[in-house]
Structure 1
Amino acid sequence: MPADLAVIGLGHLGLPLAQAATAAGVDTIGFDTDPRPVAELAAGRPPVDGSLTASEIRRMLSGGFRPTTNPTELGRVRTAVICTPTPLGADRTPDLGAVAEAARALAARLRPNTTVLLESPVHPGTTEDVLRPLLEAGSGLRAGRDFHLAYSPGRLDPGNRAHDFAHTPRVIGGLTPACTESAAAFYGRLTDKVVRARGTREAETVKLLETNFRHVNIALVNEMAVLCHDLGVDLWDVIRCAETKPFGFQAFRPGPGVGGHGVPVDTIGTHRPLRLVELAGQVNERMPQYVIQRCATLLNEHGKSARGARVLLLGVTYKPDLADQEGSPATEIGRRLMDMGAAVSYHDPYVADWRVRDLPVPRADSLYEAAAAADLTVLLQHHRTYDLQGLAVKAQLLLDTRGVTPAGAAHRL
């Protein structure tokens, strides 16, 4: 049966869009070539990353949301949004394979006057130079004349209730002014504010700037963390004071690494690389090794070797209070500890099974007992369920990589 919207790609971008559209009364189908997530969603089961709960999925289904693997459904919609993943390839540029596959499936069924949007993170020029030719060749239609084409950068902060889909402004850049307005009319049904970019390339570059801004600033405070530790300066107190400045400063905080789905892009085709972003990536990629260095030093200072030490890792997800492990530095930290001969275990209220090198890592059932038994406990992620004061009392040795324990209660990054 016809629908208003097809969301192509039921991952971390597509599902929240489908949820917002369904809640707004938009008749929505969710298309994915992988039958597994489709079957799970159709059965009312939530995604493994914990981005949506079972009750939220059931609410979507009762609101008319229909997950499907049937590509013929794509030819019955007014708006189609491509939300497929674009992981970085070996050349450090987004892999557009899934976007191209989605474009071909849609093009074979594309009808005149359809609005086609791309939300996947891509390098500037992708909508016009890659997506447009695929859609036109497969459909025989012309973008900007027979159908509308636009780009809108995905803006999601999982778990942030204050800035959910409806309360986060959407940037829209169309191939033509009419394309922009058609896309803006669609997103205007889902969000409070729509911001019009000059074109698709400007909208694509918005995502590039926003993602790189985060990584560059995290790299700065990560370098400050290393420096301040060497100087004997409390960086967390420095940040607390600095963020009282009402202009010219935005607080970022260091950590054991940078996770999440938004990866920095420092190379755009044959253009000059973004050297600052490249350097920031190097800084952030070194943080897991710095955590290992601090672990080994702390153990040594307490008369213990890393080899044979019992190390408990707390929080293995990339963000607090979520199950999503995308890009979490915990995996590399666990691997490096194992390489040093440490006996690694973990605790995370959102992760029932955690593996490193495809091997299961023992999960602590009793948090306080495990912390008391471990030679070293490392807080990698600050879930709200953790009683930090209690952990500081129970743990023999506690390394806090997030700076959230009470002052003097633990060793901080």
Structure 2
Amino acid sequence: MAMQISATNPEHPALLLELPWSLPLQEWPEDCLVPLPRGISRHVVRYARAGTEIIAVKELAERPALREYELLRDLDRLGIPAVDPLAVLTGRTDAAGEPLESVLVTRHLRGSMPYRSMFETTMRPETMHRLMDALAVLLVRLHLAGFAWGDCSLSNTLFRRDAGAYAAYLVDAETGELHPRLSPGQREYDLDLARVNISGELLDLEASGALHPSVDPVEFGHEICTRYDGLWQELTRTSVYPAGKYHYIERRIRRLNDLGFDVAEMQIEHSANGDSVTFVPKVVDAGHHQRQLLRLTGLDTEENQARRLLNDLESWMATQEDYAPGAPPASSRLHSAKGYPEAARPEVLAHRWVRDVFRPTVRAVPPGLRGAMDPAEIYHELLEHRWYLSERAQHDIGLDTAVADYIANVLPEARAPLEP
């Protein structure tokens, strides 16, 4: 049977045909590979270049390859953080006509890191807590969408910097199952697998001397359960409020927004005697601040980055002469510019901020010093550096001064490119 390519984009097959598919993946020549850090995998995985794309190629049997490809496409449609599926190739043969395993092709997640590469220098416990937070958020988002992972682990996750925290992405969906809704038992099974896998991975790091001496692998395995349970409870619990205290419902919704989630539906019931109200939110949409920033500015960022940029945007807007103080703020949940002059609309001011503040600030950082940081992460770090210098000077030193100091004194030592 001839080789077949199923792709998400009609342009991808032509680019992929340039690669040496008649060779087993482990025999691919170095000139077509990209030297990026790889995590541990039960399959052979290589990074390669296809046109302008850097792709991850995983070799596995045909049936699981096709299944994982479709699952990743489902997760993409659901807006779940996962690697982007590009194609699946079946019917491969070598030069002698002998069959080769199928391959799954995904887009390399720029700026991402497998957990083992993050432990090349001893990771502080505070950073590990942030990794557990990111992984707990990812697992909750998967479960809210009805996806049972079946193999949650650090090895099956990629991490990206997100304004001082991390964002976690699913990288292996081979064991996953998508359901209309997960039962408590399915969720608990996934969570227990995560606990066991994470403890085992950290024990391996401990044996190799790559783990901070204060880190208990078993305790950190339990931490994912604690953080997951707390977040799940906050997102799904039923609240009972006194009748007439409807601002309590608004406060709960705002708290969910602060966690990065939107309430798609809500169920409100009055008690039989009318003295209390029961509120049940249906949280299905994560990325609250991401959507706000994208709508206002066109910038597509991680959730914590978006929250930080929105705060800076609002502060900047308040300094503009044509800003209407009564206009809804940029991060308002329900916002309309109706009734305000054209120049004072939040969208107009937001695009001016992108043009006059955000882009010039990011472009001031030489590309060779940026490493794998995306523009939003660069801007966040510049804001952090400005705050640090201003605290030391006991007055606001301004963004231009912070950028110059950051370029001169921070980037040369702190950043090394993760990608060519």
Do the structures match in fold with TM over 0.5? Answer: no
Q: Which TM-score applies when normalising by structure 2?
A: 0.29
